[in-house]
Structure 1
Amino acid sequence: MKIGDRIRFFRIQQNKTQEELANGVISVSYLSKIENNQSLPSLEVVDMLCERLGIRFIDDEEPTLLEELNNWYKTMIDGDKAELERLYPILLDKASTTRDSTSLVYYMLFELRYFLHKRQYQVAKKLLNKLNEISDIFTEELNYYLSKFTGLSLYLEEKYSEAYDLYKKAESILIRNVFEKWEEADLYYSLGLTTSQLWKSSLCVNYTNQALAIYQAHYNYKRSAECQILLGITYRRSNEFKKAEESYLLANKIATTLNNANLKGFIHHNLGYLYSTQEKVDLAIKHFEKSIEVQTLLDDNNKQILPSIFSIIVELYNKNDAVNGIKWVRRGLELIEKGEELKEFFYHFKTYDYLLTEQTDEFEDFLKEDVIPYFEAQHNFKFVAEYAEILACYFESKYKYKQASYYLRISNKALKKISNI
């Protein structure tokens, strides 16, 4: 980095204002010119500014630290949680003492990725803001990571269109430069996930296959299975049921070889949903139950099995099997602890509790005042459409045609939003 860039970087990194750094040394306007590389300061001024910041005049790269940082980042990509946590305090200590600006920028970028991995969004947001302040001095490689991690941040906020734009920006840098193949695959998989959320099936298949080809070439079986699952989801949405089944079964074969129960549980859930889409109710329930069986062995608090429980409830309701449906509703409600993150499943289970027992005025108020507004706030238009239609049918059965028409319009409006995603 140029000396002006280094001074600006460390000033921002240390949360110092220009006034604080310049005080007693030079004017603020002159410091601004130095930081923008518009003026070359004397050695005496450089020494005083560097001393105040606690840095060296020469920016000596620390190749050992850079290598350690890259290895730490790869553990995030590989999903090695134990090694990731073991290395974090070690690298935090080294980063807090280094005066090499290049190493420190890489640390900040990879720490941003770490905070996103930990779902510590507020901490990540502050760090992202700080990185954006100095992004004008970044190399293409640094801008690649900033674009990619910003894309991930937006993806986790469910801002999929914005995430896609940032991932595409990262891809344009990737094409012009040389990165490790595992990094290339991870970006394409991220693009596959994002285009899946945007319901851009052809793009999703394209990006996911690019990632899959790299993972297969490097014998990364777990990530290959994840790609097959994503392909299965995409094919199912496109009504290419045979291709979807083939992808899921390939993924299941890998998960069995790896003895990865977590993957197997996820695969069985998706197989259940695939067969449900084809109205193969008994086969769907069989796979949902298999998913629950596998996940129960892994998950002490059983939160991971809630989607499969809900799916079974829906299948039994459609099958008019109220007796078994109510049993599963009771099981689901018993598993739910009070907490915002589980509110979605409380609304699901409670709604079907009413549907499988008695639809009273309380049921009407519950859907109108709690359930539908909740899913609207979450922008989960699939369930807005479904529950609005259920309410419309309820009002129709009560001969309240005006209200039935109103909620049918809400359902249709939500369906249009899904198709336009």
Structure 2
Amino acid sequence: MNIGQLIKLERQRQNMKQEYLASGICVPSYLSRIENGLVIPSEDIQQHLLKRLNVPLDALNNDGDEAKLSYFKSLFKSVINSRDKQKAKSLYQDVHIYIEEHPFEPNRLTLLVMETRLMLMLPNYANEVLTNVAILEEFKKEMSTDQLFYLSTIQGIISYQNNEFRQASEIFMNIFNLIKSYRMEDWEMAELYYISSLAFLSESRYILAIDYVKSALSYFNQEILIERSIECLVILGIAQKNTGVLKEAIASYEKAREISSKIESSKFKGMIEQNIGACYSLLKESDLALFHFKSSLQANSDPNINVISILSILKEHHKNNDISNALIWLNSGLEILYKLSESNRDFYANHFLVYKTILLNETNSISTFKRVLDYFESKQEFKYCSIYCYVLAKKLAKEKQYKQATIYYEKGFNYHIKQSKVSSWEELS
């Protein structure tokens, strides 16, 4: 990076306006030309600009510490592979301090990308991440392929975390195009395959999710990164379940369970048992489904996780027309609501409200379902809108309210279209 670019980067990091930095030194338009590399400032102007930025004058003589950068990269690889938040926090602090102490380090962009990626792994850094991304966007033309790789990866993860799954998938696909003629390291590719599989899974693009997570799994197995392998097997199982290969999905989960037991880890037990239960439910093996749902419940202490199993057990009993047990588990669900985080509380309260209306045969079902549909539509959860429209339509038809039933059958189909992300009926085929 040239002197102008380094001045611009440091000014933006300090959230300093061009007008303020230039004041009394040069006109803002001249500073803009310096920052864009159109002119080289005189030594006098350089010194005044550095002084205002509170940067030591000898910073310009910094040739970069390649050994330090290599050390940071080695730790960065370890952190990304292990996803260890404590290591991430420690490395972030070291990188951040180094950047502040060496503002004109020639490898500044690489360090800033690294710092931003580490912040993504830590809580309470959302604003700082967005600030860094905005700065990095200004320097895309100056970036190398590996720097662009990481910036795009960061943007894809942000989109995924914001539930913008289509955008995340597009970003990851663009990354694969970006690096077609560039050799990334195996660990970097494994991480890309892993996070891409999550995005494609959320987008219901299960075949791609399976292909990518298998590539990540191969690397994690080879490097004996056991917890990462277990995570991949769980993702693989979910994608297999959603493509209807239920026996293969169960085999993936059981492999994950086997590995977990070998390392005597209970971290994934609840998640694995829950997903095995979901497979057996689809196979209509209700006793096995209930067994695994309850095993999941016993493996967890977090109410935000347990509520998933409670709802699954409630659904299973209702599906079997076991009303008495369904009511018992409905009450369990209603009782746990106050222990949930705010977003989860609203989400599950609406699910339980549907079952309460059905099980208690409440007379105000249309108004209740309207509230539920409004909630899920506001969250763009069109799958649940479609399902609950069908439930209401079926209930209304049973009560011989055929006109209302027809309205909700049609609404349900329209929500299905939205969920499928198609623009015309031809795309459904």
Moved more, 198-207 or 183-192: 198-207
Moved more, 317-326 or 252-261: 252-261
Q: For 1:225, give the aligned amino acid.
A: I
Unmatched runs of 5 consecutive residues or more in structure 1:
none
2:83 is equivalent to residue 79 of structure 1: yes
Q: For 1:388, give the aligned amino acid.
A: C
2:183 is equivalent to residue 168 of structure 1: no
Tell me, in whole angstroms, the C-alpha distance in 2 between the residues paired with 1:367 and 1:106. 52
- 1:262 is paired with a residue whose SS is coil
Give 1:22-421 correspondences, 5 Å limit: 22-53=22-53, 54-55=55-56, 56-63=59-66, 65-67=68-70, 69-70=72-73, 71-72=75-76, 74-102=78-106, 104-118=108-122, 120=124, 121-296=126-301, 299=302, 302-337=303-338, 339-361=342-364, 363-368=365-370, 370-420=371-421
Contact 2:317–2:326, Cα closer than 8 Å, also in 1: yes
Tell me, in whole angstroms, the C-alpha distance in 1 between the residues paired with 2:419 and 2:358. 25
Q: Percent identity?
A: 27
Tell me, in whole angstroms, the C-alpha distance in 2 between the residues paired with 1:345 and 1:77. 34
CA, structure 1 residues 50+177, in 2 after alignment: closer, same or farther (shift >3 Å)?
farther
Give the CA deviation at 1:292: 0.9
Give the CA deviation at 1:272: 1.0
Contact 1:50–1:57, Cα closer than 8 Å, also in 2: no
Contact 1:192–1:207, Cα closer than 8 Å, also in 2: yes
Query: RMSD in angstroms over aligned alpha carbons?
Result: 2.2
Tell me, in whole angstroms, the C-alpha distance in 2 between the residues paired with 1:86 and 1:139. 26
Give the TM-score taking structure 1 as reference length: 0.91
- 1:364 is paired with a residue whose SS is helix
Give the CA deviation at 1:266: 0.8
Q: Deviations over 1:387-406 (max 9, x none)?
A: 11111122223322221111
Contact 2:270–2:296, Cα closer than 8 Å, also in 1: yes
Q: For 1:148, give the aligned amino acid.
A: T
Q: For 1:185, give the aligned amino acid.
A: A
Q: Deviations over 1:312-363 (max 9, x none)?
A: 10010011111111111111221112723321111112221222223221x3
Contact 1:10–1:101, Cα closer than 8 Å, also in 2: no
Contact 1:47–1:57, Cα closer than 8 Å, also in 2: no
Contact 1:288–1:311, Cα closer than 8 Å, also in 2: yes
- 1:151 is paired with a residue whose SS is helix
Give the CA deviation at 1:307: 0.9
Moved more, 239-248 or 331-340: 331-340
Q: For 1:414, give the aligned amino acid.
A: Y
Q: Deviations over 1:215-272 (max 9, x none)?
A: 1111122212221221111111111122212211111111211222121211111111
Give the CA deviation at 1:147: 0.3
Q: Deviations over 1:50-86 (max 9, x none)?
A: 3332152234323454345432564254121233334
Tell me, in whole angstroms, the C-alpha distance in 1 between the residues paired with 2:382 and 2:267. 28
Q: For 2:410, give the aligned amino acid.
A: R
Tell me, in whole angstroms, the C-alpha distance in 1 between the residues paired with 2:128 and 2:363. 46
Contact 1:141–1:173, Cα closer than 8 Å, also in 2: no
- 2:268 is paired with a residue whose SS is helix
Contact 1:46–1:57, Cα closer than 8 Å, also in 2: no
Unmatched runs of 5 consecutive residues or more in structure 2:
423-429
Give the CA deviation at 1:104: 4.5
Aligned length: 415
Moved more, 68-77 or 192-201: 68-77
Give the TM-score taking structure 2 as reference length: 0.89
CA, structure 1 residues 32+90, in 2 after alignment: closer, same or farther (shift >3 Å)?
closer
Q: For 1:327, give the aligned amino acid.
A: I
- 1:261 is paired with a residue whose SS is coil
Tell me, in whole angstroms, the C-alpha distance in 2 between the residues paired with 1:284 and 1:158. 29
Tell me, in whole angstroms, the C-alpha distance in 2 between the residues paired with 1:86 and 1:37. 35
Give the CA deviation at 1:167: 1.5
Tell me, in whole angstroms, the C-alpha distance in 1 between the residues paired with 2:119 and 2:409. 42
Tell me, in whole angstroms, the C-alpha distance in 1 between the residues paired with 2:128 and 2:333. 34
Q: For 1:343, give the aligned amino acid.
A: D
CA, structure 1 residues 367+117, in 2 after alignment: closer, same or farther (shift >3 Å)?
farther
Q: Deviations over 1:274-298 (max 9, x none)?
A: 11112221111111111111113xx
CA, structure 1 residues 357+151, in 2 after alignment: closer, same or farther (shift >3 Å)?
same
Moved more, 344-353 or 37-46: 37-46
Contact 1:59–1:100, Cα closer than 8 Å, also in 2: yes
Give the CA deviation at 1:417: 2.9
Contact 1:145–1:170, Cα closer than 8 Å, also in 2: no
Tell me, in whole angstroms, the C-alpha distance in 1 between the residues paired with 2:89 and 2:246. 41
CA, structure 1 residues 371+178, in 2 after alignment: closer, same or farther (shift >3 Å)?
same
